[in-house]
Structure 1
Amino acid sequence: MNNTNKTVVKSMNILNLFIVHSELTFQEIINLSGIPKTSVYRMLSTLEEMEFLVKGTDSKYRLGLLFLKFGHLVSSRLDIRKIAYPYMNELHNETKEAINLIIREGDEAVYIEKVDTQQKVRLYTAIGRKSPLYAGACPRAILSFLPDQEVKDYLESVELNPIAKGTITDKEKLYEIIQQSKKEGYTISHSELENYTSAVGAPIFNNLGEVVAGISIAGIEANYQGDNLEVFQEKVKKAAYAISKQLGY
């Protein structure tokens, strides 16, 4: 084990002390960890700088708010996947199209679940894959239902790069589409992430009314016309609402 790995392990040993103890002094950390004083000092400084630990005015160390953030993210993502899956599976059985679930990670969307066992043609999307929030019905299901000022700030800072032949690269047009989606409660995309594919998406909200995820029905573009499109719109909105209710919306 190299020195870098040893340092990481020792730092984790220090953090693990806070599983049992809500607060510890510098000397208590030394005594409990068995790590030399100079090493503990150095590691505590780094952990504090990275916001893993905070040092109070009483000179005691406590876990930083970063853990609360990570804990919330892990919990919410796991809960959403667990809650959404039965509805995704039902939607897939009804439509025979791919069903995707995404969450936001910064200015991107991450696909965290997918059901497509009955779909013959595999699409662009895959679990773990990332897409910009502006492209595709599922990512835009999150972007479209963010607070308006947040949407405007995002559009001012982002560069709209073409991904497929239908990717929207005009900011004024994109903003109009976002506003329309917000009124209608769903999003539509054609050849935005992959040529000749389409998707219909809808937002998922938490108990605070915040958009926390998006769900979509996706497949070959030819299937997303006329009556089919209307059916998919209603089905994806219904599933998104059911999942949102399970999250306390």
Structure 2
Amino acid sequence: MTKTKETVQSVDRAVDLLYCFSLNKPELTVNDFVNKTGLNRTTVFRLLTSLKEKGLIVKNEEEGVYRLSLAFVGFGQIVAENLDIRKESLPELKKLSSLTNETVSLNVLQSNRRVCVEKVDGSEDIRQFVKLGYPYPLVRGASGKVLLAHCEENVIEEVIQEWKEMNGDEFDSASFLKELQDIRNAGYCLSKNDRVLGAYSISTPIFNMQKELIGGLSISGLAMRLTEEKEEMFISNAINGAKEISKKMGYIS
């Protein structure tokens, strides 16, 4: 945890103790806290007693272990019910659009389509047009593919089947499934001249505290502007941007 001159040492240390808990270690002994924080036993015991009296942790007297109290369930519910992905994403979209001069958008899954729910237009004279609220297909373009890549297998099969029935074109399912696997492994998707001729899109997934996909961030523009240098930089920008939004939505890597 980052320390600043304005922090109160006792509060700082108590919070450090709370951060010792994890999914892998939901119950801890005094020795565990000492080893994790480097604090002496007397200080740890005093802080644990204060946290226990405030109802933030509970102690199993028989086993001598501590765990977080149900108070954190209530805190989590307050946070979860007030998280708005559009609101949390907008500052990052503005930042990325300013960095890249391109259009940056936030897309979500809706009825086997991807829908843009927020965007910041780029400053270039000729820019990629993204329509808010319009249901775009998932099988064309990076913005759709990055969402589909993180869907359940039955959803992916359903989307592919629907695409075949509606378009009647030849579709290499095996190759497409391999592409989705590559997207999951890479952590991003890059498309050029896919859904729109002459356009590119770089898209990255956004996750919530349950590690579930809740959206995707996309940087898009004219393919002719995307040099190798820009491509590398924009991919990094998009990955970091999605990570920041995911963090705001409660995701812990």
TM-score bracket, normalised by the shorter chain, equals 0.5 to 0.7
Task: Please state how far the C-alpha of 1:158 moved relative to its aligned partner.
Answer: 3.3
Where structure 1 has 5 or more consecutive residues not aligned to the other structure, the ranges are 1-74
Give the match for residue 231 of structure 1.
233
Query: Does residue 98 of the first structure (1) align with residue 107 of the second (2)?
Result: no
Give the match for residue 5 of structure 2.
none
C-alpha separation in 2, matches of 1:76 and 1:168: 44
**What is the aligned residue count?**
171
Where structure 2 has 5 or more consecutive residues not aligned to the other structure, the ranges are 1-79
Give the match for residue 20 of structure 2.
none
C-alpha separation in 1, matches of 2:83 and 2:122: 22
C-alpha contact (below 8 Å) 1:160/1:169 kept by paired residues: no
SS of the residue corresponding to residue 159 of structure 1 reads helix
Give the match for residue 155 of structure 1.
160
SS of the residue corresponding to residue 221 of structure 2 reads strand
TM-score if structure 2 supplies the norm length? 0.62
Residues 193-247 of structure 1, C-alpha deviations (whole Å, 9 max, x = no match): 2110001000011111111111110000022241211111111010001101111
Question: Which of 136, 140, 156 in structure 2 is aligned with 1:135?
Answer: 140
Residues 130-149 of structure 1, C-alpha deviations (whole Å, 9 max, x = no match): 21111111121111112345
Q: 1:192 to 1:174 in 2, by over 3 A?
A: same
Q: 1:117 to 1:234 in 2, by over 3 A?
A: closer
Amino acid at match of 1:114: K
Identity across matched positions, percent: 26
Give the match for residue 197 of structure 1.
199
SS of the residue corresponding to residue 215 of structure 2 reads strand
Task: Please state how far the C-alpha of 1:128 moved relative to its aligned partner.
Answer: 1.5
C-alpha contact (below 8 Å) 1:168/1:192 kept by paired residues: no
C-alpha contact (below 8 Å) 1:160/1:168 kept by paired residues: no
C-alpha separation in 2, matches of 1:203 and 1:217: 12
Q: 1:126 to 1:109 in 2, by over 3 A?
A: same
Query: Does residue 170 of the first structure (1) align with residue 175 of the second (2)?
Result: no
C-alpha contact (below 8 Å) 1:200/1:217 kept by paired residues: yes
Question: Which of 119, 137, 142 in structure 2 is aligned with 1:114?
Answer: 119
C-alpha contact (below 8 Å) 1:200/1:236 kept by paired residues: yes
Residues 46-102 of structure 1, C-alpha deviations (whole Å, 9 max, x = no match): xxxxxxxxxxxxxxxxxxxxxxxxxxxxx9898111000000000000000110111
Amino acid at match of 1:99: V
Mapping of residues 50-65 of structure 1, within 5 Å? none
Query: Does residue 145 of the first structure (1) align with residue 153 of the second (2)?
Result: no
TM-score if structure 1 supplies the norm length? 0.63
